[in-house]
Amino acid sequence: MHPDTLSVHAGNMEDLIGSIVPPINLSTTFERNKDGVIGGKGFIYSRMDNPNRRSLEIKLALLEGGEEAFAFPSGNSAALAIAETVLEPGTHLIMPDDCYHGIAAMIRNLLPRWKVSHTEVNMSDAHNLENAIQKNTRLVLLETPSNPLLKITDISAVASIAKANGILLACDNTWATPLIQRPLEMGIDLVFHSSTKFFGGHSDILGGVVIVKKRNEISQRIREFQVVGGVVPSPFDCWLLNRSLSTLSIRLERQVKNALQIVEFLKTHPKVEKVYYPGLPDHPNHLIAKKQMNGNFGSMISIQVKGGEKEAMRFAANLEIFKHATSLGGVESLVEHRRTAEGMVPKSPDNLLRISVGIEYIDDLIDDLKKGFSG
Ligand SMILES: *Cc1c(COP(=O)(O)O)cnc(C)c1O
């Protein structure tokens, strides 16, 4: 079935009364058979597995095209699950230099205590990866498009370098989603997401997911980290996310359509210094993006505003529909001064604003942007 159909139906379990919408099951424990053996559906205790998490994981695995999915309470814990599972003391990890700052903080602050070292690499050129590989490199993390500079990594090129060196590859597919980009079909072993973003889509659930291409020793260890580590989302969060996924395809379609028109407006605006969007022909990796994102470029845009931080902040403050807030991928349009959000290790230019385009009516969005520049 097509992902648009899977996102509505996959994983929904039949129940005794024929519910079309899966119920929320809050039970923490499940009855055993009279002989003490685990019941037919295999549920024992909610941390191990529960109906809402199982439904969600089935849907996510099918959507991303992997053999198994693991739901986590945040995108960061999904990335931590991969790190904990793949890395051991004395090993080395390679991450993008434009890595989402929360995951970069995890790698910089937590992993050194486990004696795991890392190198930050500009992955826009796959050759840079080759030079960074060490004898003890076990894992390469990718994020494409990257946050907030929308750098593009050539997934297939990086995958063949990593494969030749026996290194596992994990790709953060949060910004593209499997409806636009399918890393598991391009040589990636593990995909992860912050489902807080496009999957949730309404800025009301924190969540994460790991999807593996193959069931193997690594996937067993990820399950162990989730279940024994107790890193699990609640049944309600799973239910809410499952519901949100049903509308992913139509939300995304509208968001991308709006984003294209907003890029058209911004790219010639006299107060805009630079537009970052992989759909622009002058983006350094435009052709790679076109190929690996199925001719689609997502709904995230970054801009540099002329006149420095002061003008960027003034523009953001003048907007009414675009709220100034962190996060992305929701139905509501947001704008964010990225440098302020990056905390202790800011790296974005001080006049950079990141725009997450929502599903509002396009003329209202463009009018709001005009007001931002003129106000
Ligand atoms: C938000 C985000 C994360 C972290 O996810 P949380 O759900 O906030 O823990 C990871 N990667 C990307 C690209 C993100 O945008």
49 is catalytic: no
In angstroms, what is the span from residue 115 Cα to ligand 1's centroid?
Answer: 24
Pocket-testing residue among 100, 191, 195, ligand 1, by greatest number of atoms within 8 A of Cβ = 100
CA distance 195 to 177: 10
Q: How confident is the model at residue 51 (pLDDT cuts 50, 70, 90)?
A: very high
277 is catalytic: no
pLDDT in tens, 282-310: 999 999 999 999 989 999 999 999 999 99
| 282, containing H or E segment | none
CB of 25 within 8 A of CB of 235? yes
* Mean pLDDT in residue range 320-333: 96
Q: Is there an atom of ligand 1 within 6 Å of 177 CB?
A: no
pLDDT in tens, 114-161: 999 999 999 999 999 999 999 999 999 999 999 999 999 999 999 999
Mapped onto helix, strand or coil, the DSSP state of residue 63 is helix
Return the pLDDT at 351: 96
100 is catalytic: yes
Is the confidence at residue 251, as pLDDT, over 90?
A: yes
pLDDT in tens, 53-69: 999 999 999 999 999 99
Catalogue all structural domains in the chain, each as residue range(s) with its CATH number. Answer: 3-245 (3.40.640.10), 249-374 (3.90.1150.10)
Is the confidence at residue 344, as pLDDT, over 80?
A: no
* Mean pLDDT in residue range 217-224: 98
DSSP 216-234: SHHHHHHHHHHHHTT----
- Model pTM score: 0.96
Q: Is there an atom of ligand 1 within 6 Å of 75 CB?
A: yes
